[in-house]
Structure 1
Amino acid sequence: MSTILIVEDEPRLADILEVYLRREGFHTERAGDGRRALELWRAARPALILLDLMLPELDGLEVARRVRAESGVPIIMLTARDEEIDRLLGLGIGADDYVVKPYSPREVVARVKAVLRRAGGGPEIVGALHAGPLVVDPAAFTVTLRGAALDVTVAEVRLLALLARDPGVVRTRAELLAALGGLERGTDERTVDAHVKNLRRKFGEDAALLDTVRGVGYRLRVGAA
């Protein structure tokens, strides 16, 4: 049974979402503010997060940034205005979908199912991530290549962790920048290019493992050995 974390500070709305999700066989956890949302996310490891934009303690943007710094768990943002979606996209938060209030709970459940299908429907990957000869351990902040430990920064580990979760899948510069989780505020997407350049230097003869997709972003090559 997949767990859905509902992050919503209006109890009535959270109640309705919970009823509809449980009818469809989902287990639910609830948080009414941003700090509690992060606590429950780490404890419950949900399959998906329904995340309201306007929250007490920490707003939805900051919650999403912190989650994305460590995890690829699907996120559906709940927002009160269409214009907010443009802002969220521009900030490169990396949400998987957006729903505008007032919404139909049936529509939200349908979106949840669709996003989970795209994500494979399984539990979030934890522990060491393997991509050919590369092993990334986000929890330990270590990276090894062909068994040799690399001297990497926290930002580089976070970028590689996002790429290594789905080797071969292209990640945009905006997604990769969001994965930095506020480590380098005030920077733009060229920061990602600089990190990739440094990583390729550290990879040495395996520099081609980090593949550029022109005009889009980067991926880890599948089948590299």
Structure 2
Amino acid sequence: MTKQKILIVEDEEDIAEVLLAYSHQEGYSTEHFQSGRGVVDFIRQNSVDLILLDIMLPEVDGIEICKQIRAFSNVAIIIVTAKRQEIDRLQGLELGADDYICKPFSPKEVMARIKTVLRRTAEPSVDVLECLGFELYQESYLALYNGKQINLTAVEFKILLLLIGQVGRVFSREDIIHHAYRETTDISDRNIDTHIKNIRKKIQEVESTLNPIVTVYGVGYKFQKK
């Protein structure tokens, strides 16, 4: 069985050494960058299953790296940050990160987060869902509208899949959290609102007049017919 590969982007040598040791102990293949330089090019040229990405990096910061990677790849990304303000966490998720973890942290917690993200981004057994011009390919996390690709992150894809799967049904934010994050327990309603905003924006990048996700105030969200 091929080992899953994790790219660890961390400039603090002692933290990087611990993360590398724990990753190897868990059976992962790893690569390590001590700065932000070269990370995006590496991802363009190599296949990895997950990136553990520190925010405060020399040369190129983690937010910029995340933004550039999301322009061409849906690889799973966990943001690592020493900034605890909610605005920093939301910014990371808004740029396409799948999860975040704050320093100081337990290495075991990081490994648990990695397993959770890899599990929820694993390929499902059913392939394509077609609805109202949308095509969602579950094995590849590919979303299309009238043949045009919508560049969604793995979490955004799962949210859109949930909504499209039952057109007209209102899903609460709690429903969406349980579907998209499963075992992750510290995701807030505001995180879901940010993901919905991103999904709407990305849909409108391929069809400017299309806005099929409706807010049901005080309840949640639903996908409606045109």
Deviations 1:130-186 (A, max 9, x none): 7647679xxxxxx784xxx77xxxxxx5xx13289656245967448769xxxxxxx
Any conservation in 2 of the 1:173–1:217 contact (CA below 8 Å)?
A: no
What is the deviation of 1:213?
Answer: 3.9
SS at match of 2:152: helix
Worse overlay, 29-38 or 103-112 = 29-38
Unaligned ranges ≥5, structure 1: 123-128, 137-142, 151-156, 180-188, 201-209
Any conservation in 2 of the 1:176–1:192 contact (CA below 8 Å)?
A: no
What is the deviation of 1:217?
Answer: 7.5
1:212 corresponding residue in structure 2: 213
Asked which structure has the greater RCO (Cα within 8 Å, sep 6+), the reply is: 1
What is the deviation of 1:40?
Answer: 2.2
What is the deviation of 1:69?
Answer: 1.9
Any conservation in 1 of the 2:89–2:100 contact (CA below 8 Å)?
A: no
2:161 corresponding residue in structure 1: 168
SS at match of 1:4: strand
Deviations 1:74-102 (A, max 9, x none): 2111111312x432304612322221112
Any conservation in 2 of the 1:93–1:174 contact (CA below 8 Å)?
A: no
- Provide the C-alpha distance between the structure 1 equivalents of 2:203 and 2:193, rounded to a whole number of angstroms: 8
Change (3 A) 1:42 1:195: closer
Unaligned ranges ≥5, structure 2: 137-143, 164-175, 177-191
What is the deviation of 1:57?
Answer: 1.6
Percent identical across equivalent pairs? 33
Change (3 A) 1:130 1:32: farther
TM-score under structure 1 length normalisation: 0.63
Which of 4, 14, 17 aligns to 2:16? It is: 14
Any conservation in 2 of the 1:29–1:40 contact (CA below 8 Å)?
A: no
Any conservation in 1 of the 2:145–2:206 contact (CA below 8 Å)?
A: no
Change (3 A) 1:193 1:72: closer
Deviations 1:33-77 (A, max 9, x none): 223221222232211110000011210000111112222222111
